[in-house]
Amino acid sequence: MVTGYRRWRSLAAVGLLAGAIGCPTLDIVNRNAPERERAFSDPQTVKAAAAGSIKSYINTRVWYEPALAPFSTMADVHTFSWNNWQSRYYSSYGVECTMRCGWANETTHPRYEPIPLWWYGMYSVISSANDVLFAIRQSATPPDLGDDLGWVETMAQLAQGVAHALVALTYDQGFVVTEESDPTTLQLVSRTEMRDAALAQLDQAATLAAAANFSIAPNTLFGLPSGPTYTGAQVAKMARSFQAELLALFARTSTENIQTNWAQVVTYASQGISSGTPFDLAVFSSDRQTTEDFFSGVEQWGNDYGTTRIDTRVARLLSTTQADPWPGGAGNPQPADANGNPIGGVYGVDKRLGDGCFLAGNTIGDGECPATANSGTDFIWDPSTYFPASRGQWHQSNIGYIRYHCLVGFFPDCPSPAGEFLVLSRHLNDLLWAEGLIRSTNSVSQVAADRINASRVTRGGLAPITTATSVNNALAAIFYEWHVELVSMTCHS
Task: Provide the pLDDT for residue 20.
Answer: 35
Range of the domain at 358: 304-402
The CATH number covering residue 456 comes to 1.25.40.900
The stretch 396-425 carries a mean pLDDT of 86
pLDDT tier, 436 (very low <50, low <70, confident <90, very high otherwise): very high
Residues 18 and 130 in one domain: yes
The stretch 264-289 carries a mean pLDDT of 90
The per-residue pLDDT for range 437-491, each reduced to its tens digit, is 999 999 999 999 999 999 999 999 999 999 999 999 999 999 999 999 999 875 4
Task: Provide the pLDDT for residue 34.
Answer: 54
| Residue percentage of the chain with pLDDT more than 90 | 70
pLDDT tier, 382 (very low <50, low <70, confident <90, very high otherwise): very high
Residues 53 and 137 in one domain: yes
Q: Is residue 419 part of a domain?
A: no
Q: Is residue 418 part of a domain?
A: no
Residues 319 and 440 in one domain: no
Q: Is residue 179 part of a domain?
A: yes
The per-residue pLDDT for range 286-328, each reduced to its tens digit, is 655 555 688 899 999 999 998 999 999 999 999 999 999 999 9
Q: Is residue 172 part of a domain?
A: yes
Task: Provide the pLDDT for residue 362.
Answer: 53
Residues 343 and 437 in one domain: no
The CATH number covering residue 92 comes to 1.25.40
The stretch 131-154 carries a mean pLDDT of 96
pLDDT tier, 38 (very low <50, low <70, confident <90, very high otherwise): confident
The stretch 16-44 carries a mean pLDDT of 56
Q: Work out how many domains the chain is built from and give that number.
A: 3
Task: Decide if pLDDT at 210 tops 80.
Answer: yes
pLDDT tier, 242 (very low <50, low <70, confident <90, very high otherwise): very high
Q: Is residue 331 part of a domain?
A: yes
Task: Provide the pLDDT for residue 493.
Answer: 42
Greatest CA separation found in the chain?
A: 83
pTM beyond cutoff 0.85: yes
Task: Provide the pLDDT for residue 385.
Answer: 87
The stretch 259-270 carries a mean pLDDT of 98
Task: Provide the pLDDT for residue 291.
Answer: 52
pLDDT tier, 17 (very low <50, low <70, confident <90, very high otherwise): very low
Task: Decide if pLDDT at 133 tops 70.
Answer: yes
Task: Decide if pLDDT at 32 tops 50.
Answer: no
**Average pLDDT for the chain:** 88
Torsions phi, psi for 158 (to 5 deg): -65, -45
Using the 3D structure, point to which of 402, 417, 434 is the last residue of a domain: 402
Residues 104 and 196 in one domain: yes
Residues 17 and 119 in one domain: yes
Task: Decide if pLDDT at 271 tops 80.
Answer: yes
- Higher pLDDT among residues 93 and 92, named by residue: 92
The per-residue pLDDT for range 338-368, each reduced to its tens digit, is 999 999 999 999 999 999 999 866 556 678 8
Residues 260 and 195 in one domain: no
Task: Provide the pLDDT for residue 391.
Answer: 86
Q: Is residue 6 part of a domain?
A: no
Task: Provide the pLDDT for residue 16.
Answer: 31
Using the 3D structure, point to which of 196, 229, 262 is the last residue of a domain: 229
Q: Is residue 415 part of a domain?
A: no
Task: Decide if pLDDT at 421 tops 80.
Answer: yes
Task: Decide if pLDDT at 417 tops 60.
Answer: yes
Residues 269 and 121 in one domain: no
Task: Decide if pLDDT at 177 tops 80.
Answer: yes
Task: Decide if pLDDT at 131 tops 70.
Answer: yes
